[in-house]
Amino acid sequence: MAMTSAERSAYPLCGAKKKNGDECRAFAGQGTDHHGVGRCKYHGGSTPSHQTAAAKAEAERKMVTLGAPLDVTPAAALKGVLRATAGHVAWLAAEVANLSSLDTPDAAHLTRLYAEERDRLARTAAACLSAGIGKVEVEMAEAQADALTKAINAAMSHVGGLSGEQKRQFGQALRQELGHLSAGDPALPAPDAGSAEPVAA
């Protein structure tokens, strides 16, 4: 269906300068695979650099128009960026390790991204430490562990029929299981079997 003059006026155009100095009136991305974004095929729109620029512009446009606001705390935002960036670094490290050659454009792009993401991870980690996020999480985990120990002690005081040795063994087993949980979650401090508060006998 043909566009009306009003629709055409509102549609993005290529805008490249022609040899006579006039602006190209072809549609943005006309004749390329990035319709509506970037230059038309007559002004370099199909070249790799223009395709990359068009993809970036389209991603930015979608981010601004489709990215809905979220309620998030500064600490949660920093932690989210830290976790995401750590994932990016791990993936890129695996991709770089699997490269058969470092002399290709793809390899150069991957290694550059790897270096950039490692720098981003270091900066984000430093920001988390500066904000005291790690310290707060450790304090919260310690408070939770303390509350758990008190609750177990209280429950054990109501349980009859267990000898002192059985209660001691239970305390050791509990500390061991908490250690397993800590190994799976870096935010939780591993309990020290030698110094942890024993379950009441």
pLDDT in tens, 6-63: 656 667 888 888 888 888 888 888 888 777 778 888 888 888 877 777 777 777 777 6
- Rounded Cα distance between 194 and 92, Å, is 41
Is 21 a domain residue? yes
Instruction: Check residue 120 and give its pLDDT.
Output: 93
Is 201 a domain residue? no
Domain boundary among 62, 89, 106: 62
10 plus 47 within the same structural domain: yes
21 plus 57 within the same structural domain: yes
Task: Classify 23 as helix, strand or coil.
Answer: strand
Instruction: Check residue 63 and give its pLDDT.
Output: 66
Phi-psi sector, 23: left (phi>0), alpha (psi -120 to 50), beta: beta
pTM: 0.46
- Per residue in 58-85, pLDDT (tens digit) is 777 776 676 677 888 888 888 899 999 9
Is 110 a domain residue? yes
Is 195 a domain residue? no
Instruction: Check residue 137 and give its pLDDT.
Output: 72
Contact, 113 vs 99, CB < 8 A? no
Phi-psi sector, 196: left (phi>0), alpha (psi -120 to 50), beta: beta
Is 67 a domain residue? no
Is 196 a domain residue? no
Phi-psi sector, 135: left (phi>0), alpha (psi -120 to 50), beta: alpha
- Rounded Cα distance between 177 and 199, Å, is 14
15 plus 43 within the same structural domain: yes
Instruction: Check residue 184 and give its pLDDT.
Output: 54
137 plus 126 within the same structural domain: no
Is 57 a domain residue? yes
Which structural domain, as residue segments, surrounds residue 141? 133-184
Contact, 50 vs 82, CB < 8 A? no
What's the total number of domains in the chain?
3
Contact, 145 vs 199, CB < 8 A? no
58 plus 95 within the same structural domain: no
- Per residue in 164-200, pLDDT (tens digit) is 777 777 777 777 776 666 555 544 445 444 444 444 4
Is 158 a domain residue? yes
- Rounded Cα distance between 47 and 163, Å, is 80
16 plus 46 within the same structural domain: yes
